[in-house]
Amino acid sequence: MPAPARHFIQEIIDEDLKTGKFGGRVHTRFPPEPNGYLHIGHAKSICLNFGLAAEYGGKCNLRFDDTNPVKEDIEYINAIMEDVRWLGFQWDGLYYASDYFEQLYQWAEQLIRAGKAYVCDLTPEQVAEYRGDLKGGKESPYRNRSIEENLDLFRRMRAGEFPDGSRTLRAKIDMNSPNFNLRDPVMYRILHAEHPHVGNKWCIYPMYDWAHGQSDSIEGITHSICTLEFENHRPLYDWFLDALGIYHPRQIEFARLNLTYTVLSKRRLVELVTEGHVKGWDDPRMPTIAGIRRRGYTPEAIRQFCKDIGVAKFNSVIDISRLENCVRDDLNRRAPRVMGVLRPLKVVIDNYPEGQVEEFDAVNNPEDASAGTRKVPFSKVLYIEQEDFRESPPKDYFRLAPGREVRLRYAYFIKCVGMTKDEKTGAVTELHCTYDPATRGGNAPDNRKVKATLHWVSAAHALKAEVRLYDYLFTKPDPDDVPEGQDYRANLNPQSLVTLTDCRLEPSLAAAKPGDRFQFERLGYFCVDPDSKPGALVFNRTVTLRDTWAKIESAQKKK
């Protein structure tokens, strides 16, 4: 039995444990900025950080990296906590970088006193200009102020004496460093803004680089795991900690998640919401945790997905079908089966007695014998799926057609003997069939076979419902694949939501509550939407079942 594969971060931790680098501790953290909703990419990070802590018997904190009050909001703080919990994780400590602002301020004075930080009066444009280009930058004229003047100015910045943007506190490092992050990075900027967590206590706010490492240090984090784009920041992370002479965690970078047919940047997710391309952060088409949850995904499926895709430093793009496979796999085992007809086609069983009703036993879950059975009513007038009948069936189509016999699941074999059509459009509006009483329950005593088994509902007993069919938000695997001059919005899928309002479901669904998940046999997995009410059910399609016929059919069309 080969040892299970370990990713590079586990190997680093193993090594640190062996050398006793952190006294045998493992302490991670998930550090979101509360400026948006969490998405599936964050789930990867959450599973990684909390998963590592669990695996090594360590701890994992949830810390809000709330250093930019103009973008942050209490709504996001609450949503993030809900999402982390929903994913199945419990943090050891709940912290806010903003609770460290006083300590951070004291440390800033320490650096000033050490001659390693200075107050700079350059405008934002000048700072950019002085930072220079690939060849090098030039030093700020304010770089060599005296310690006393710096201290005085910095205290007055804190006291609110200066307007936004007029001054900054910068670290004195190296204006010619090939790493731009070391060209005297800004530590504090003046921002007279109310903060969602600490209110109006501050008018100077620390930059990410100045806050993050020290926050990790305060919390005793051992392994500070972040995404690849922060690799360039690690020298600065290390520089601040060393300059301060405080406990020094280890920053490790991994590749963030990319998925086909969607976007995962916060900026774009905000745009989708604010520009009305979706109905909100929890729109089931969104790759947000809230959207995916509403769509009907399970936390187990998401965790399995995060495990499957692995952790590495290669910038990969994961095919979204991998995510879909995970939810199918999970729901296949757990979701109760029911019958529901999305696009109803009326079927009259000519030789079935008027007014008669029979009840058939239906298996709730073939993957789980303990799920038991339920009764499904059958009568003379039924609905089947429009897709399940073709007047002239193409090759390899083996559902219902004139003269053909199929099985109605759990009920009878029926044969199509006629149809009524709309005189104007020619569309088939009603089917006439006969049933074979000898096939009661679904098997023929003479052992004859049928090639198809259809789902159905009894017209008189069916529940009417709305069903929302979701498809990918974008029409191309890479939403950025656009003609010159256009952007990802050009690839928005106009069919990403199709609402069906005339669906018919078996009566056992009458008591279904928001969040309940089912497999509609032969169609897919569906979940009751929060908009649903007794008597006015609303379902979201989580994902279709694997559909071999659809594949055959689209291959035929291509020919």
Partner RNA sequence: UGGGGAUUGGUGUAACGGUAGCACGACUGACUCUGGAUCAGUUAGUCUAGGUUCGAAUCCUAGAUCCCCAGCCA
Report the distance separating Cα 257 and Cα 231, nearest Å: 16
Question: What token pair was written down for 516?
Answer: 């309940």
| One residue of 113, 156, 322, 448 binding RNA per CB under 7 A | 322
Among 135, 513, 533, 558, binds RNA (CB under 7 A): 135
Looking at 228, 357, 438, 510, which residue binds RNA (CB under 7 A)?
A: 228
Residues 486-515 that bind RNA (CB under 7 A): none
**Which of the residues 266, 343, 415, 489 is marked catalytic?**
266
- Contact letters for RNA, residues 136-155 (x by CB under 7 A): --------------------
- Residue 428 C-beta: closest distance to RNA, Å: 17
Binding track over 14-43 against RNA, x by CB under 7 A: -------------------x----------
Taking the mean position of all CA atoms in its chain, how far away is CA 555? Answer: 31
321 binds RNA (CB under 7 A): yes
CA distances 559 to 303, 391, 397, 551, 554, Å, are 40, 22, 16, 13, 9
For RNA, the binding residues in 51-110 under the rule CB under 7 A are 65, 67-68, 71
Q: What is the largest CA-CA distance in the chain?
A: 102
- Cα dist. 202→34, 99, 198, 208, 222 in Å? 18, 11, 8, 16, 29
> What's the chain's length in residues?
559
Straight-line distance from the first to the last Cα atom of the chain, in angstroms, rounded to the nearest whole number: 47
What pairs with residue 382 in β-bridges? 347, 458
Q: Which residue number, 8 or 350, has a Cβ lying nearer to RNA? A: 8
- Kindly tell me which residue out of 437, 536, 551, 556 binds RNA, with binding defined by CB under 7 A: 551
Q: Which position among 143, 256, 279, 390 bears the catalytic label?
A: 256
Q: Is 144 left (phi over 0), alpha (psi -120 to 50) or beta?
A: alpha
Pick the catalytic residue from 25, 33, 139, 415: 33
Instruction: By CB under 7 A, tell whether 332 contacts RNA.
Output: yes
Least distance from RNA to the Cβ atom of residue 206, Å = 7
Cα distance between residue 184 and residue 359, in whole Å: 78
Confirm or reject binding of residue 229 to RNA (CB under 7 A): yes
Q: Report the residue from 317, 438, 460, 510 that binds RNA according to the rule CB under 7 A.
A: 317
Burial class of 81 by CB neighbour count within 10 A (0 to 12, 13 to 18, 19+): middle
Alpha helices in 379-527 (DSSP H): none
* Residue among 148, 194, 319, 350 that touches RNA (CB under 7 A): 319
- Supply the minimum distance, in Å, between the C-beta of residue 435 and RNA: 13
Options 62, 87, 122, 543; binder of RNA; rule CB under 7 A: 122
CB of 513 to RNA, least distance (A): 22
453 binds RNA (CB under 7 A): yes
The beta-strand segments (E) located in 242-293 are: 250-254
Q: Which of 100, 281, 410, 488 binds RNA (CB under 7 A)?
A: 410
Distance CA 76, CA 341 (A): 38
Q: Which stretch binds RNA (CB under 7 A): 83-91, 207-215, 348-356, 459-467?
A: 207-215
DSSP state of 100: G
**558, exposed or middle or buried, with CB in 10 Å at 0-12, 13-18, 19+?**
exposed
In the range 186-205, which residues lie near RNA by CB under 7 A?
A: 186, 189-191, 205
With CB under 7 A as the contact rule, the residue among 81, 255, 492, 497 that binds RNA is 255
Q: Is 553 a catalytic residue?
A: no
Distance, in Å, from the CA atom of 465 to the CA atom of 341, rounded to the nearest integer, reads 10
CB of 441 to RNA, least distance (A): 4
How far is Cα 194 from Cα 59, in angstroms, rounded to an integer? 32
> For residues 151 and 255, which CB has a smaller minimum distance to RNA in the complex?
255
Query: How buried is 5 (Cβ within 10 angstroms: 0-12 exposed, 13-18 middle, 19+ buried)?
Result: exposed
Q: Is 21 a catalytic residue?
A: no
Which residues have C-beta within 8 Å of that of residue 498, sequence separation ≥ 6? 468, 469, 471
Phi/psi at 94 (nearest 5 deg)? -110, 115
Of residues 335 through 364, those in contact with RNA by CB under 7 A are 337
- Could you tell me where the DSSP H helices lie in 275-393? 289-295, 299-309, 320-334
Q: By CB under 7 A, name the one of 7, 21, 248, 268 that touches RNA.
A: 7
For RNA, the closer CB: 85 or 546: 546
Please identify, using beta-carbon distances, which residue of 278 and 335 lies nearer to RNA: 335
By DSSP bridging, strand 223-227 and strand 204-206 are unpaired
Site size for RNA (CB under 7 A): 93
- Specify the stretch interacting with RNA by CB under 7 A; choose among 83-91, 124-132, 194-202, 417-425: 124-132
From the CB of 218, what's the least distance to RNA, in Å? 16
Select 411 or 465, whichever has its Cβ closest to RNA: 411
Q: Are 26 and 53 in contact (CB under 8 A)?
A: yes
**Smallest distance, Å, CB 327 to RNA?**
12
User: Which C-beta is closer to RNA: that of 138 or that of 530?
Assistant: 138
Q: Are 228 and 313 in contact (CB under 8 A)?
A: yes
Question: Is 485 among the residues that bind RNA (CB under 7 A)?
Answer: no
- Give whichever of 78 and 123 is closer to RNA, judged by the CB atom: 123
- Interacting span for RNA (CB under 7 A) from 84-92, 230-238, 465-473, 488-496: 230-238
Contact residues for 302 (Cβ-Cβ < 8 A; gap 6+): 40, 43, 47, 87, 289, 292, 323, 326
Which residues between 261 and 290 bind RNA (CB under 7 A)? none
Nearest CB to RNA, comparing residues 131 and 432:
131
Strand partners, 405: 415
Stretch that binds RNA, among 20-28, 37-45, 282-290, 541-549 (CB under 7 A): 541-549
Q: Verify binding: residue 232, RNA, rule CB under 7 A.
A: yes
Query: Is 256 marked active-site?
Result: yes
Task: Report the catalytic residues.
Answer: 33, 256, 266
